[in-house]
């Protein structure tokens, strides 16, 4: 198990999810340009989406077992990314339901379904795990999972969560079932940061206001990463890069330990699209890795691992956000079905 690289503590983070691994014609989508192209400084790559299925031994990465030969190039490139200083994280869950329902059972059932997750992390040398919980799960259930990951993989293992941004402001407006403020109070020391989804009606990245509200609520800036869709093709709420850049730069100026930006997802990000998907990361690097007027780089900060915010539920009322549509990525079988 390689330890997390220095990028685990680099702020602001530049995080990219990588779910669509092959295009509709079956061509492998390489992440090596994130290393070889100039002006790219990605800190974390999150491989998605890992699913726990009814068969405890039937763990899948999207539609196939992680050991399937079609993923051989993926795992090889991710090792290169790690050697280049990028932390590689596995994402569990997402829009497809069932993974967390199976883990949120009695201890025997939990152990049964957790075992292949443990094996995958060990086999692929992942630096961390991202819990994208978009189904009902109990607070006790997510705490048990976090505790087990920490016990099994040690203090350097990166544990993140991916709530919708609204869940950081109101426990009733989330997809996970539990209160994120309560989780932060109880296990904040074990959670590196939150990849908050500021899109699909659950957040707004077109201006800094919602992020500022999260900080005013008590969330420390280094633990909240602004999650955006990298193209309108990936979901509602896309913010044009020029406007997004202005807002991220404003947040970085206001909060010296600003947590960074997350993009969903890599393969078709603008402005380069499918032909040059790394250009989204280039743009984010230019915004978040600028040099101050005196010619000296701004100092990097080490994120605090917890905050001291209290549970403070809002009063009843308010409009419910619309549940986002399931994102239809190009699966590895899509080209075979057409």
Over the stretch 80-117, which tens digit does the pLDDT of each residue have? 999 999 999 999 999 889 999 999 999 999 999 999 99
For residue 3, is it within any domain?
Answer: no
Look at residue 104 and give its three-state secondary structure: coil
For residue 5, is it within any domain?
Answer: no
Domain of 333, CATH number, reads: 3.20.20.80
| Average pLDDT rounded to a whole number, residues 280-308 | 60
Query: What is the number of structural domains in the chain?
Result: 1
For residue 336, the 8-state DSSP code is: H
For residue 56, is it within any domain?
Answer: yes
For residue 254, is it within any domain?
Answer: yes
pLDDT score recorded for residue 314: 43
pLDDT score recorded for residue 330: 45
pLDDT, tens digit (0-9, with 9 covering 90-100), for 134-185: 999 999 999 999 999 999 999 999 999 999 999 999 988 899 999 999 999 9
pLDDT, tens digit (0-9, with 9 covering 90-100), for 34-73: 999 999 999 999 999 999 999 999 999 999 999 999 999 9
Closest CA to 266 of 60, 30, 11: 30
Look at residue 128 and give its three-state secondary structure: strand
Look at residue 53 and give its three-state secondary structure: coil
| Residues paired with 51 in a beta bridge | 60
For residue 245, is it within any domain?
Answer: yes
pLDDT score recorded for residue 331: 44
Length of the chain: 338
Domain that residue 275 falls in:
10-337
Total Cβ atoms within 10 A of residue 32? 14
With residue 248 as reference, give the H or E element that holds it. Answer: helix 241-254
The b/e string for 228-240 (b: 16+ C-beta within 10 A; e otherwise) is: bbbbebbbebbbe
């Amino acid at each position: 198990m390689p330890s997390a690289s220095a990028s685990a503590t680099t702020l602001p983070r530049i995080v990219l999810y990588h779910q669509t691994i092959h295009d509709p014609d079956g061509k492998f989508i390489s992440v090596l340009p994130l290393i070889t192209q100039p002006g790219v400084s990605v800190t974390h790559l999150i491989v998605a989406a890992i699913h726990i299925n009814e068969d405890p031994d039937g763990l899948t990465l999207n539609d196939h077992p992680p050991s399937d030969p079609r993923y051989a190039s993926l795992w090889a490139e991710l090792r290169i990314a790690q050697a280049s200083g990028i932390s590689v994280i596995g994402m569990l869950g997402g829009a497809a339901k069932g993974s967390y329902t199976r883990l949120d059972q009695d201890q025997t059932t939990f152990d049964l379904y957790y075992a292949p997750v443990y094996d995958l992390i060990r086999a692929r040398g992942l630096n961390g795990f991202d819990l994208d919980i978009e189904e009902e799960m109990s607070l006790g259930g997510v705490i048990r999972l976090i505790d087990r990951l920490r016990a099994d993989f040690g203090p350097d293992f990166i544990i993140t969560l991916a709530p919708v941004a609204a869940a950081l402001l109101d426990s009733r407006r989330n997809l996970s079932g539990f209160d994120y403020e309560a989780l932060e109070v109880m296990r904040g020391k074990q959670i590196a940061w939150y990849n908050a989804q500021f899109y699909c009606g659950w957040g707004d990245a077109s201006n800094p206001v919602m992020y500022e509200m999260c900080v005013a609520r008590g969330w420390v800036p280094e633990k909240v990463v602004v999650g955006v869709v990298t193209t309108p093709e990936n979901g509602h709420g896309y913010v044009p890069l020029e406007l997004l850049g202005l807002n991220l730069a404003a947040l970085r100026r206001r909060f010296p330990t600003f947590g960074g930006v997350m993009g969903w997802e890599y393969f078709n990000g603008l402005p380069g699209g499918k032909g040059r998907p790394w250009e989204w990361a280039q743009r984010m690097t230019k915004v978040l890795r600028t040099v101050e007027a005196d010619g000296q780089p701004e100092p990097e900060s080490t994120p605090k691992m917890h905050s001291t915010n209290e549970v403070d539920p809002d009063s009843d009322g308010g409009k419910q956000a619309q549940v986002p549509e399931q994102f239809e990525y190009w699966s590895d079988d899509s080209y075979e079905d057409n």
